């Protein structure tokens, strides 16, 4: 067993053990770090026990093969030590859960460590003076630096950007040139963005470092929006400001804290221009939030009898009748009914008949219109104002929806005999039109296809409420299943049209 005391044999056993450990143990960074440490410590013990100091140029053996082995072993010792230190750096940064951009710092530190190890190998294995080597390579370094000037500019700009933490992967940024997009990758040379049309935009780090940059996700994920709203001056500015305040209450995307801001930015005899500023939870909701606000402005303005501004406003729009809305007031609910996709299958005469048979109700702010879990006896159309649906769960209130002019509620009780998922509360003063079961039954028998439209709307609402609650209490409902249930309750035919 004398050969076991030979350093070459010991080294071969050590290499075989490390190779087997890498193959058998899970490919996890922590396990690999432990293996690197064990290899380095064991190799150090082998060399020192045979009188070889890896950090010394002296070799005690006169045998050629052992001298070659010790030179190779010292080289591996320095490189193994460098690998162990680099592994510890990468492991520490991962445990700290730092962002992906810290890869720049990791690579920079790793490069310095490997360069130091290489210089140590040159000095202690090949006995070459490192100082002389560095001095003679200075000219070559200058030439190489000039040739790679653009690349080095990108590299150091990338390091500066990521150390400054101006942005992170996933942030949406806008540059001074107007280029904007979400950061999907940062590397040594460039930053990659995905723009609004899902195209890849590659920006050199040097150009990015010189550009003015706006990070839309900092200091937090919320995003501010400012919108211009123009209305015809048929009411006082204070009245129209209150109208826009009602619009903000009807939004499901707008954040309530901080409060939305409404300011008048222009006032002429043709137009009153407002700026509506508010925040949303994430920049990805920008388009949906703007579309919702424009839709709500249109519906609330229609319900209040206030026309939108135009370049050439007619003189009739400024008559006293228009200022009071007395002529249009009675027609607005009918217009709202006509806007509903729910009643798109009805003729104008049928919609008028439906509206005449409806009962008009007024509710003060804070009034509970329908309690939670109650069966509604009428389909209620919001004529003006805002209501919200609030469900009480585990002693706390969860808001399910907000409804504005043109929206309706109570359909599940009168159509399928289901309970209301939450209490319906007037968030502002509300005027509503109630269409009873008998009136709906008459319309449905004339137009059985209306059952499909109602079922589709109801299925969407049930699915939306399920997503908002996130607890899976409401099972998924298929629109066709709901339509068949409505037909059974109202004893309707299955004809597609009447």
285 with 323: CB under 8 angstroms? no
What b/e string do you get for 419-456 counting C-beta neighbours within 10 Å, with b at 16 or more? ebbbbbbbbbebbbbbbebebbebbbeebbebbbbbbb
Flag whether pLDDT at 237 surpasses 60.
yes
> What fold does the segment set 166-215 form as a domain?
SH3 type barrels. (2.30.30)
5-16 pLDDT, tens digit each = 677 777 777 778
Instruction: Name the phi and psi angles at 476, rounded to 5.
Output: -60, 135
Q: Where are the domains of the chain?
A: 2-136, 166-215, 223-324, 344-490
What radius of gyration do the chain's Cα atoms show? 37
pLDDT, one tens digit per residue, over 309-352 is: 875 444 444 444 444 444 444 555 666 666 666 676 677 777 77
Beta strand spans in 67-171 (E): none
Max avg pLDDT among 58-67, 177-186, 424-433 = 424-433
pLDDT at 281: 87
Angstrom distance (rounded) from CA 247 to CA 250? 5
Q: Which fold has domain 344-490?
A: Jelly Rolls (2.60.120)
For the stretch 171-174, contacts whose Cβ atoms lie closer than 8 Å and that sit 24 or more positions apart, written own/partner, are 171/215, 171/216, 171/217, 171/218, 172/215, 172/216, 172/217, 172/283, 173/213, 173/214, 173/215, 173/216, 174/213, 174/214, 174/216
Instruction: Tell me the C-alpha distance between 373 and 411, whole Å.
Output: 13
- Residue 469: the pLDDT is 55
Q: Is the pLDDT of residue 1 over 70?
A: no
Q: What does CATH list as the number for 223-324?
A: 3.30.70.100
CA-CA distance, 22 to 28, in Å (whole number)? 10
Give the tens place of pLDDT for each residue, 183-216: 988 877 788 999 878 889 998 888 888 888 888 8
* pLDDT digits 0-9 by tens, 417-459: 778 888 999 999 999 988 887 777 777 777 777 777 777 777 7
Joined together, the tokens standing for residue 279 give 């925040």
pLDDT tier at 292 (50, 70, 90 boundaries)? very high
> What is the reported pLDDT for 316?
43
DSSP at 309: P
> Tokens standing for 98?
């730092």
pLDDT at 498: 40
The first and second tokens of residue 386, run together, are: 């805002």
Q: Which candidate, 383, 327, 332, 338, places its Cα nearest to that of 359? A: 383
**Which of 169, 185, 182 is closest to 284 using CA atoms?**
182
183 membership: H or E segment, kind and range: strand 180-186
What residues does 228 pair with on adjacent strands?
275
Q: What is the distance between the alpha carbons of residues 160 and 98, in angstroms, rounded to a whole number?
A: 17
């Amino acid at each position: 067993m004398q050969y076991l005391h030979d350093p070459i044999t010991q080294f071969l056993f050590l290499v075989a053990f490390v190779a087997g450990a890498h193959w058998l143990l899970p490919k996890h960074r922590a396990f690999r770090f432990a293996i690197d440490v064990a290899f380095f410590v064991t190799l150090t013990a082998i060399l020192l026990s045979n009188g070889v100091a890896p950090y010394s140029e002296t070799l005690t053996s006169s045998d050629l093969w052992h001298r070659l082995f010790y030179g190779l072993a010292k080289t591996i010792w320095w490189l193994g030590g460098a690998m162990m230190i680099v592994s510890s750096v990468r492991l520490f940064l991962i445990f700290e859960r730092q962002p992906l951009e810290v890869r720049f710092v990791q690579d920079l530190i790793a490069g310095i460590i490997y360069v130091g190890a290489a210089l140590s190998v040159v000095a202690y294995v090949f006995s070459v003076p490192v100082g002389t080597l560095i001095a003679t390579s200075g000219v070559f370094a200058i030439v190489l630096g000039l040739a790679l000037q653009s690349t080095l500019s990108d590299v150091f700009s990338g390091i500066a950007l990521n150390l400054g933490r101006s942005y992170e992967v996933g942030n949406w940024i806008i540059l001074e040139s107007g280029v904007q997009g979400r950061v999907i990758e940062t590397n040594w040379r460039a930053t990659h963005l995905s723009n609004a049309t899902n195209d890849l935009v590659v920006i050199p780090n040097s150009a990015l470092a010189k550009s003015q940059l706006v990070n839309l996700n900092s200091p937090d994920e919320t995003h501010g929006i400012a919108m211009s709203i123009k209305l015809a001056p048929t009411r006082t500015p204070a009245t129209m400001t209150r109208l826009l305040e009602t619009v903000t209450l009807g939004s499901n995307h707008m954040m309530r804290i901080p409060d939305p801001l409404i300011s008048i930015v222009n006032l002429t005899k043709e137009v009153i221009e407002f700026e509506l500023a508010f925040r949303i939870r994430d920049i990805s909701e920008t388009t949906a939030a703007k579309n919702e606000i424009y839709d709500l402005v249109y519906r609330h303005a229609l319900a209040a009898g206030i026309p939108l501004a135009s370049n050439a406003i007619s003189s009739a729009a400024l008559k006293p009748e228009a200022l009071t809305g007395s002529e249009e007031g009675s027609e607005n609910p009918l217009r709202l009914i006509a806007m509903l996709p729910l009643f798109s299958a009805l003729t104008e005469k049928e919609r008028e008949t439906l509206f005449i048979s409806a009962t008009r109700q007024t509710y003060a702010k804070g009034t509970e219109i329908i309690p939670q879990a109650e069966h509604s006896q009428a389909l209620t159309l919001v004529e003006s104002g805002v209501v919200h649906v609030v469900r009480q769960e585990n002693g706390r209130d969860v808001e399910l929806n907000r409804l504005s002019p043109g929206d309706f509620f109570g359909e599940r009780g009168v159509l399928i005999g289901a309970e209301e998922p939450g209490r319906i509360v007037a968030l502002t003063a509300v005027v509503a039109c109630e269409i009873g079961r008998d009136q709906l039954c008459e319309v449905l028998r004339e137009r059985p296809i209306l059952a499909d439209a109602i079922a589709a709307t109801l299925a969407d609402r049930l699915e939306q409420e399920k997503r908002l609650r996130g607890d899976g209490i409401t099972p998924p409902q298929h629109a066709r299943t709901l339509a068949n249930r409505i037909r059974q309750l109202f004893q309707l035919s299955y004809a597609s049209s009447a």
